[in-house]
Amino acid sequence: MYEIIAEELNDHRVRTGNTSSLTNCSSHLSHFLPALRRDFTESMYTNVSGLVERYINLHHIDPALCPPPDKSFIHEKWNEKLDDASECSILEWTNSLFEYCTTWLDKQSPNAPNSRIWRSDPKAYLKGINWKRKLGGAIMHRHVAVKNHIRDILVPFVLRKDKSEARLAAFGLAKYVSEVFKAQPTRSYVVGLTLCGTWMQLWLFDRSGAVGSELFNVKANSENLEKYVTLLSRLLTCDKQFLGFDPSLIDVDRQPSTQTQKQQKIQIRTKNGTQEPRIDIEFHVRRGIDSKRSEKIQITDAPDDLEEPINSFDAPDHPEEPKKSYDAPDHPEEPKNPFINRIHRRLILKDVGNSIWEVDSPVALLEALEGCIKGHEALLTAGYLHRDISINNLMFANETDDPDQKSFVIDLDMAIAYPIQNHEDLKARTGTKFFMSSNLLLKGHPHSFIDDIESFFWVLIWICIHDCNDKSTFINKSDWNQQDPFTLGLVKCYYLGHLHLLTDIFRSQFKNSEPLICCVKEFAEIVADDRARTKESETLYPQILNIFCKAQGKPIVLAQ
Residue 279 has pLDDT above 90, yes or no: no
| Position 21 confidence tier, pLDDT thresholds 50, 70, 90 | very low
Tell me the DSSP string of 151-168. GGEEEEEEEESSGGGHHH
Highest mean predicted confidence (pLDDT) among 60-64, 249-253, 320-324, 455-459: 455-459
Q: What percent of the chain stands above pLDDT 90?
A: 38
Question: Residues 303-332: what's their mean pLDDT?
Answer: 43
> Which residues share a beta bridge with 268?
249, 275
What mean pLDDT, rounded, does the chain reach? Answer: 76
Q: pTM, whole model, 2 decimals?
A: 0.54
d(CA 117, CA 139): 6
Torsion, Cα of 353, 354, 355, 357 (10° steps): -130
| Position 94 confidence tier, pLDDT thresholds 50, 70, 90 | very high
Torsion, Cα of 61, 64, 67, 70 (10° steps): -150
d(CA 101, CA 73): 11
pLDDT on residue 269: 53
Residue 367 has pLDDT above 70, yes or no: yes
Tell me the DSSP string of 331-361. -TTS--------B-EE---SS--EEGGG--S
pLDDT on residue 560: 53
Helix, coil or strand: residue 369: helix
Question: Residues 250-270: what's their mean pLDDT?
Answer: 45
Weakest mean pLDDT among 387-391, 418-422, 426-430, 509-513: 426-430
Residue 320 has pLDDT above 50, yes or no: no
Question: Residues 487-512: what's their mean pLDDT?
Answer: 91
Contact yes or no for 22/35 (Cβ under 8 A): yes
What are the chain's domains? 1-346 (no CATH), 354-552 (1.10.510.10)
pLDDT on residue 284: 34
d(CA 227, CA 185): 31
- Minimal CA–CA distance to 541: which of 366, 357, 380? 380
Question: Residues 181-205: what's their mean pLDDT?
Answer: 92
Contact yes or no for 20/38 (Cβ under 8 A): no
Highest mean predicted confidence (pLDDT) among 233-237, 372-376, 422-426: 372-376
pLDDT on residue 97: 93
Question: Residues 359-373: what's their mean pLDDT?
Answer: 93
d(CA 207, CA 17): 20
pLDDT on residue 383: 92
pLDDT on residue 539: 92
pLDDT on residue 35: 52
- Minimal CA–CA distance to 151: which of 127, 131, 174, 130? 127
| Position 226 confidence tier, pLDDT thresholds 50, 70, 90 | very high
Summarize pLDDT for 470-485 with one digit per residue, the tens.
554 444 555 677 788 8
d(CA 85, CA 357): 47
> Which residues share a beta bridge with 177?
none
| Position 55 confidence tier, pLDDT thresholds 50, 70, 90 | confident
Residue 36 has pLDDT above 90, yes or no: no
| Position 370 confidence tier, pLDDT thresholds 50, 70, 90 | very high
d(CA 357, CA 467): 8
Element (H, E) at 267: strand 265-270
Residue 546 has pLDDT above 70, yes or no: yes
Burial of 217 (0-12, 13-18, 19+ CB in 10 A): middle
pLDDT on residue 4: 38
pLDDT on residue 332: 46
Residue 491 has pLDDT above 80, yes or no: yes
| Position 278 confidence tier, pLDDT thresholds 50, 70, 90 | very low
Residue 7 has pLDDT above 50, yes or no: no
- More confident position, 160 or 279: 160
Residue 495 has pLDDT above 80, yes or no: yes
| Position 30 confidence tier, pLDDT thresholds 50, 70, 90 | low
Question: Residues 335-349: what's their mean pLDDT?
Answer: 58
Weakest mean pLDDT among 40-44, 147-151, 365-369, 519-523: 40-44
